[in-house]
Amino acid sequence: MSSLPAAKKGECFMSLVIGLTGGIASGKSTVAKMFTALDIPVIDADVIAREVVEPGEASYKKIIEVFGKDIVGADGSIDRPKLGSIIFSNEEKREQLNQIVHPAVRQRMLAKKETYTEQGEKCIVLDIPLLFEGKLASLADKTVVVFVDEATQLERLMERNQLREQEAMDRIKSQMPLAEKAKLADEVIDNNHSVEESKKQLFDLLKKWEVME
């Protein structure tokens, strides 16, 4: 697939901003890679979330203040599995972490989006797992949910992360149900079946929104 045309220098141009979301083990990352293969820039909130908690960052210092030095690994970085074990089963702790990380992530994502817009990109994707939970849908012109049913989600997560059923279910339940996200989204990509079927749904969507011909 060839690259999408960007705006010519000096041309007045508005990028279509797509908010992409899903749930753990729903296949959102696979769909994000499909956008990348089309030369559509993807701004990944998870990548940025890791950047803003690196040693020296303001969020890093605040997280240690709130959760204690026990979550710091031997190399000085935050031990993500240890922090995850605290927040997945404790909604209050999870919200505390979100209040620290989300503002920093949002600020950096907006800066990247502005850069791509200035470069004349026809379409920009904001890959945000907590798009609706974090009330970030307003950052996008259109929203897309990558959907699978809960049984498929559970099976894929257990296999991918080598988790026991209860461990996997705890992680799924820590997020808004995919069925609820689907109701809030402008469009849904059903990822219960093959990658090719999901790709066709994406291409049809981009044609509908006049991103692709």
Q: Does 197 fall in a domain?
A: yes
Verify that 114 and 150 share a domain, yes or no.
Answer: no
Instruction: Read off the DSSP letter of residue 52.
Output: T
Q: Looking at the structure, tell me whether residues 73 and 177 fall in a common domain.
A: no
Across the range 43-56, mean pLDDT stands at 94
Kindly state whether residue 94 falls inside one of the protein's structural domains: yes
Residue at which a domain ends, from 105, 120, 135: 120
Residues 160 and 126 in one domain: yes
Same domain, residue pair 82 and 150: no
Domain of 69, in residue numbers = 52-120
As to burial, measured by CB atoms within 10 angstroms (0-12 exposed, 13-18 middle, 19+ buried), residue 23 is buried
| SS3 category, 11 | coil
Q: Does residue 5 surpass a pLDDT of 90?
A: no
Place of tokens 């979100």: 98
Three-state DSSP state, 20 = strand
Do 81 and 145 reside in the same domain of the chain? Answer: no
Please indicate, yes or no, whether residues 30 and 126 belong to a single structural domain of this protein.
yes
Is residue 21 part of an annotated ligand binding site? no
CA distances to 50, 64, 75, 128, 142 from 83, rounded to whole Å, are 13, 10, 15, 20, 32
For residue 154, the model assigns a pLDDT of 97
117 labelled ligand-binding:
no
- Tokens for 206, please give them: 């981009």
Q: Residue 173's domain is classified under what CATH number?
A: 3.40.50.300
Whether residue 29 is annotated as binding a ligand: the answer is yes
- pLDDT, position 8: 43
Three-state secondary structure call for residue 123: strand
Residue 7 banded pLDDT, cuts 50, 70, 90: very low
Do 106 and 200 fall into the same domain?
no
Residues 126, 116, single domain; the answer is no
Q: Is 28 labeled as ligand-binding?
A: yes
Q: Is 89 annotated as a binding residue?
A: no
Domain finish residue from 73, 101, 120:
120
59-88, pLDDT tens digit by residue?
Answer: 999 999 999 999 999 999 999 999 988 998
Q: Is residue 5 part of a domain?
A: no
Q: Provide the mean pLDDT of the chain.
A: 91
* Lowest mean pLDDT segment, chosen from 35-49, 78-92, 116-130, 149-163: 78-92
Q: State the total domains in the chain.
A: 2
Q: How many C-alpha atoms does 113 have within 13 Å on its Cβ side?
A: 23
Q: Is residue 209 part of a domain?
A: no
- Assess if residue 100 is contained within a domain: yes
Residue 193 and residue 135 share a domain:
yes
Domain boundary among 120, 144, 178: 120
Residue 206 is given by DSSP the state H
Is 76 in a helix, a strand, or coil?
coil
In-domain check, residue 1 = no
Q: For residues 118 and 114, what is the distance between their CA atoms, to the nearest angstrom? A: 6
Contact status, residue 24 vs residue 61, Cβ threshold 8 Å: no
Q: Decide if 81 contacts 73 (C-beta within 8 A).
A: no
Residue 10 lies in a domain: no
> What does the alpha-carbon distance between residue 33 and residue 13 come to, in Å, rounded to a whole number?
25
Q: Return the pLDDT at 13.
A: 56
Residue 212 lies in a domain: no
**Same domain assignment for residues 115 and 150:** no
